[in-house]
């Protein structure tokens, strides 16, 4: 019984960890939502005259909701954040295929769910706001922002009886919604079946004495909600102890990580007759402990993968725009406090559209990857190199002068020019235009001002004929870079 309860707690802990990681991810993305472009969320549309709306694109987790569809910037950005969670949802479910659904519910009356399900089969509608999966997340019912476990309910998307593990999501102290993972009664019962090595009867119940899973209990099924006293005549009054009754050996354990109890009982004759077989199961338990270790390693790999997805550009392996924004904000603050020299370099590939149109997008991707490789080989180890979007790159240089920055930029420009792009049997020479500047606390009230100035320098480099470096120390004082 001890091994069984440990296996069960670890199994549930994987879901709790996933919920916590995903909820934290939503909260972190919410902090930078003003920088997020609502691309997919603009495709959300009304689907009927009841005020319901959806995205309905099988390539993404579906977004559905109810109420009048208002496409304000704040709503669209929150919707976009929820859709951006698809990559994280995929990783979590790949690591545990027993998760029935993974989803984010917003206080703005929409839900984003993975795996995909069409709005013709399921829509987050008004009546759902009265169900436990939403009510248990609300501040008035959950002032401590705690993890919650719902009673049993029938899945509106057609997967039968299930329970939900959820966590409220906040932006600072503002309630935003809830992040949830569902388990079906069927899947939980299958888990108990796999660990019922002594052929006894396992019953997993929640705070309302609802049976959320069972193994060896012949009358039990997942078609209706059963309560503990409906399916057993055994007096289950003992807590956290093992006792031997006249005909049965009985044990009950409360889970430490969930408000559930696991009951186990078996007739004594069966225990005696299978004592030898039970000893053989010890060997299997040892094997299961090794599996637990692998599962813990998989969970740590998942955490690292989620962190990587949040900061790294998939095509180049460089840092992404979100990481850049956070790092520049930190360094900008340090500059004000410690008068550090911080350099910025922004550049893009000249006539990049022509490369795509002439050779195709895969060749365009190769050009971007080639530039990324040159960047990592050319720049210093403490320089923060980011892909800003498309063919545009941006680099932060801590502790640098404008002269050194311009020299590095020209070296990079010349290196790109002298490294042809291989296209089939031919080579194609392409160039980059670069804008550089030093963050200036007299000119820059915030980081956006610094970015606007370096972007202005890049614009001037383009105007001067491309394949140029332009230094911009002041928005009205532009110097031409050398070719």
What CA–CA distance (Å, rounded) separates 355 from 66? 44
447-463 vs 321-338: helix crossing angle, rounded to 10: 110
How sure is the predictor about 482, in pLDDT bands with cuts at 50, 70 and 90?
very low
Comparing 163-167, 171-175, 410-414, 473-477, which segment has the lowest mean pLDDT?
A: 473-477
Average pLDDT over residues 71-88: 88
With 70 as the cut, is the pLDDT of residue 121 above it?
yes
* Domain extents in the chain: 2-156+164-181, 321-479
Task: Flag whether the pTM goes above 0.75.
Answer: no
Per CATH, the number for 321-479 is 3.30.70.270
Q: Which residues pair with 347 in a beta bridge?
A: 393, 434
Average pLDDT over residues 132-160: 96
What CA–CA distances, in Å, run from 89 to 33, 48, 56? 19, 28, 17
Q: What integer pLDDT is reported at residue 339 of this predicted model?
A: 56
With 80 as the cut, is the pLDDT of residue 70 above it?
no
With 90 as the cut, is the pLDDT of residue 469 above it?
yes
Nearest 5 degrees, angle CA 241-CA 244-CA 246?
145
Given the structure tokens 């922002």, which residue do they identify?
Answer: 145
With 80 as the cut, is the pLDDT of residue 57 above it?
yes
Structure-block tokens of residue 139: 């501040």
DSSP state letter for 121: T
Comparing 30-34, 62-66, 373-377, which segment has the lowest mean pLDDT?
A: 30-34
Average pLDDT over residues 416-430: 91
Higher pLDDT, 136 or 72: 136
With 80 as the cut, is the pLDDT of residue 301 above it?
no
Comparing 32-36, 227-231, 342-346, which segment has the lowest mean pLDDT?
A: 32-36
**Using CA of residue 368, residue 371, residue 376, residue 379, what is the dihedral sign?**
negative
With 90 as the cut, is the pLDDT of residue 39 above it?
no
What CA–CA distance (Å, rounded) separates 413 from 434? 8
With 70 as the cut, is the pLDDT of residue 401 above it?
yes
Closest CA to 55 of 30, 65, 86: 65
Q: What integer pLDDT is reported at residue 91 of this predicted model?
A: 93
Average pLDDT over residues 329-344: 74
What CA–CA distance (Å, rounded) separates 382 from 399? 10
Q: Could you tell me what percent of the chain has a pLDDT over 70?
A: 89
What CA–CA distances, in Å, run from 76 to 70, 155, 432? 9, 27, 34
CA trace torsion 319, 324, 326, 327 (10° rounding): 90
Higher pLDDT, 60 or 450: 450
Q: What integer pLDDT is reported at residue 273 of this predicted model?
A: 53
pLDDT in tens, 196-237: 876 788 999 999 999 999 998 888 999 999 998 888 765 555
């Amino acid at each position: 019984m001890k091994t069984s309860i440990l296996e069960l707690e670890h199994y549930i802990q994987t879901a709790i960890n996933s919920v916590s990681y995903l909820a934290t991810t939503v909260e972190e993305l919410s902090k930078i939502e003003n920088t997020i472009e609502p691309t997919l969320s603009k495709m959300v549309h009304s689907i009927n005259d009841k005020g319901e709306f959806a995205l309905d694109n099988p390539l993404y987790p579906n977004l559905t909701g109810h109420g009048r569809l208002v496409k304000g910037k704040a709503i669209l950005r929150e919707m976009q954040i929820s859709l951006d969670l698809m990559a994280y949802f995929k990783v979590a479910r790949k690591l545990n295929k027993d998760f029935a659904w993974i989803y984010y519910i917003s206080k703005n009356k929409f839900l984003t769910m993975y795996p995909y399900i069409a709005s013709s089969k399921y829509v987050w509608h008004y009546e759902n706001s009265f169900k436990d999966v939403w009510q248990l997340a609300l501040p008035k019912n959950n002032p401590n922002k705690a993890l919650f476990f719902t009673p049993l309910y029938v899945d509106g998307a057609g997967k039968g009886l299930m329970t939900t593990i959820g966590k409220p999501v906040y932006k600072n102290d503002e309630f935003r919604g809830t992040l949830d993972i569902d388990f079906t009664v069927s899947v939980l019962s299958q888990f108990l079946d796999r660990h019922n090595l002594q052929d006894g009867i396992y019953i997993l119940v929640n705070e309302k004495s609802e049976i959320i899973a069972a193994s060896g209990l012949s009358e039990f099924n997942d078609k209706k909600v059963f309560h503990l006293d409906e399916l057993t005549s055994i007096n289950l009054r003992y807590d956290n102890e093992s006792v031997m009754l006249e005909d049965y050996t009985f044990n009950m354990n409360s889970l430490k990580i969930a408000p559930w109890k696991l009951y186990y009982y078996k007739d004594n004759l069966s225990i005696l007759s299978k004592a030898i077989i039970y000893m053989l199961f010890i060997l299997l338990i040892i094997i299961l402990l090794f599996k637990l270790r692998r599962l813990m390693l998989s969970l740590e790999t998942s955490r690292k993968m989620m962190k990587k997805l949040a900061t790294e550009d998939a095509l180049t392996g460089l840092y992404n725009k979100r990481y850049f924004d956070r790092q520049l904000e930190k360094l900008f603050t340090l500059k004000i406090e410690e008068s550090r020299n911080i350099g910025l370099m922004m550049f893009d590939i000249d006539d990049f559209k022509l490369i795509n149109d002439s050779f195709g997008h895969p060749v365009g991707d190769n050009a971007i990857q080639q530039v990324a490789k040159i960047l990592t080989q050319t720049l210093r180890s403490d320089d923060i190199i980011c892909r800003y979007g498309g063919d545009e790159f941006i680099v932060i240089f801590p502790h640098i002068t404008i002269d050194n920055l311009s020299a590095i930029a020209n070296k990079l420009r010349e290196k790109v020019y002298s490294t042809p792009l291989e296209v089939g049997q031919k080579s194609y020479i392409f160039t980059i235009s670069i804008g550089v500047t030093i963050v200036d606390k007299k000119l820059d009230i915030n980081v956006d001002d610094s970015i606007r100035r370096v972007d202005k320098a890049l614009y001037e480099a383009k105007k001067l004929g491309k394949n140029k470096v332009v230094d911009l120390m002041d928005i009205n004082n532009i110097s031409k870079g050398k070719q």
